[in-house]
Amino acid sequence: MSDQATRTVATPTAKKTPKSAAFDYQKYRPFAFAPSLPDRTWPSKTIEKSPIWASVDLRDGNQALIDPMTIEQKMRFFETLVDVGFKEIEIGFPSAAQVEFDFARKLIEENHVPNDVTLQVLVQAREHLIARTFESLKGAKRAVVHVYNSTSRVQREKVYGKDKAEIKEIAIVGAKLLKEYAAKYPETEWVFQYSPESFSQTETEYAVEVCDAVCEVWQPQNGQEVIFNLPATVEASMPNVFADQVEYFCRHLAMREHVIVSLHTHNDRGCAVAAAELGVLAGADRIEGTLLGNGERTGNMDIMVMAMNLFSQGIDPELDFSNMSEIVQVVSECNNLPLHPRHPYVGELVFTAFSGSHQDAIKKSLDYNEQHTDQTDNIWDVAYLPIDPAHIGRSYQDVVRINSQSGKGGVAYILQRNYGFNLPRWMQIDFSRVVQQQAETVARELQNDEILQTFENTYLRQGSFELLDYSVNNKGGQVYFNGQVQMNGDTITIDGTGNGPLSSFINGLAQHTGKSLHIINYAEHAINPQHNSGNGIDDDNNRDNKTNANAAAYIQLNVDGEVYSGIGTCSSTVSAMLKGALSAFAQALNTTAA
């Protein structure tokens, strides 16, 4: 009796005629193999440690490829799996093809298997295949022989035409054969693994019955290592239902304390990782899967994703993905499969924000952490970034990229991180409009050097406007400015008085041009020397008040009632602010002329 009623979240409605006869949902029925488990315990549990990982890339992943891997590709992949830290690796199906058999022999005979790594192979419950499988593993120090037969209702009735008793007998015979052939190779430490294939579509109580019968043959309570692997060969239910199946199995298996329970989920519903995670909560000890999720149909459970999920929660995954780019390259090249740019953790765009609000939040979070290092306890906590990209070998240049959807925060992040310009908010708003217009014009993403070029052209290179020379003197509490400025090919002299160099320059500029000029906002900062190359910074060795690092000054002017922003850079802070004012004024004149 199923407790499906407790899972219902919406009242069923009357059947409707499909809009298209070719898209007929009425041909399907609700999942029929959910066990009755009203007292399920897994929802209140948490994962506190890594499961045992077993890579099946070289077998399950390989058999799903259009062009299966060569021995050379398999060897490269195997070495990568060892480097990542896998201790159990399924290397193939030796009885199915000569290349599979030869690869197993190469690993063993040429001593490519580290002492702490266990090989695993798959075989159907047939004697001639089992005999060939043990032959392929001769001389191995330790190996898992994984035998299986399908137990699902659809396979029993429509594929094999056998009843439950006959299907169970196939499993028992296979178990006996493993025990018999293992005895012929006593130099190897053998681990027996059995899978009731299509466990997810098998009546759970029947799966327990079959595995209990296998236990009677293998006698794990007497020291034989045994793994029961529960495959969602076809993912046919929600992950919580699969978790119920796993918990039911673990509760009712007679020899549970003497065996390892393993899971092998597929991704037909797109929930393979979720099903595996909930299955661990439900009592499983071990997880089989592939890197990047390659496998039959929609793929296997992605071990990399599940391991990184643990990593992001402060749990040691016991696998090392710090060199993620190289790992992805090996997997993609050996499988001859592209990587989706949005693939979790490793896709080109997964740490990239185009949205303006996302960019702004990322920038502010990173700035806050830099300014409050004594308060963060070195714990990662950044908006929109679940992990620090640096932990898997990615740089911060991957985080923010600019297109027409981007906002002021993203543009400011690029200029600050790459070129040392820390734009105040009002300048961010001003420049983001310029960048957005450019992105809309070219209808594509803007590269960092294009953003810098636009920034320089907008503020730092104002055509024929240039501060040529000046002097500043203090007399009787007033500051007197005298200097020469080039405007549209003419050199003019500016004289002005104020309470500081900037105000005296602005006053003199207003008197000479007849414009109404008022300073609205002003900001300045030193630019780290590492950013001085290639960011449009000018130097002025004839000015006083030079700083050890170049300075950037940001000026916002009201010119005849309209607001304009400008930027100046120089080794002198005074020169930088004067150039910033001239930059804003030049924009006003150029805009009026246009």
Binding residues: 60, 264, 266, 300
> Which contacts (CB < 8 Å, 24+ apart) does range 504-513 have?
504/472, 504/478, 504/479, 504/480, 505/470, 505/481, 505/578, 505/581, 506/557, 506/581, 508/481, 509/485, 509/581, 509/582, 509/585
- Helix H, strand E, coil C: the string for 383-429 is CCECCCHHHHCCCHHHCECECCCCCHHHHHHHHHHHHCCCCCHHHHH
**Which among 567, 594, 543 is positioned nearest to 462, based on CA atoms?**
567
* Identity of the amino acid at 493: T
Count CB neighbours of 275 within 10 A.
28
The number of C-alpha atoms within 13 Å of 578 and in the hemisphere containing its C-beta is 31
Count CB neighbours of 15 within 10 A.
8
DSSP E strands: which ranges in 215-341? 226-232, 260-265, 286-289
Tokens of 224: 């034989």
CA distances from 108 to 83, 102, 158, 189 (A): 18, 10, 40, 14
Strand 226-232 to 189-197 pairing: parallel
- Whether the CB-CB separation of 428 and 449 falls below 8 Å is answered with no
Indicate the helix (H) or strand (E) that contains 450.
helix 448-455
- Whether the CB-CB separation of 469 and 486 falls below 8 Å is answered with no
- Whether the CB-CB separation of 2 and 35 falls below 8 Å is answered with yes
User: Rounded to 10 degrees, what is the CA torsion of 325, 301, 83, 118?
Assistant: -170
- In total, the chain counts a number of residues equal to 594
**Binding site feature residues for Mg(2+):** 60, 264, 266, 300
Tokens of 34: 């959910």
Cα 96 to the center of its chain, rounded Å? 35
3-state secondary structure of 568: strand
Tokens of 386: 């679940």
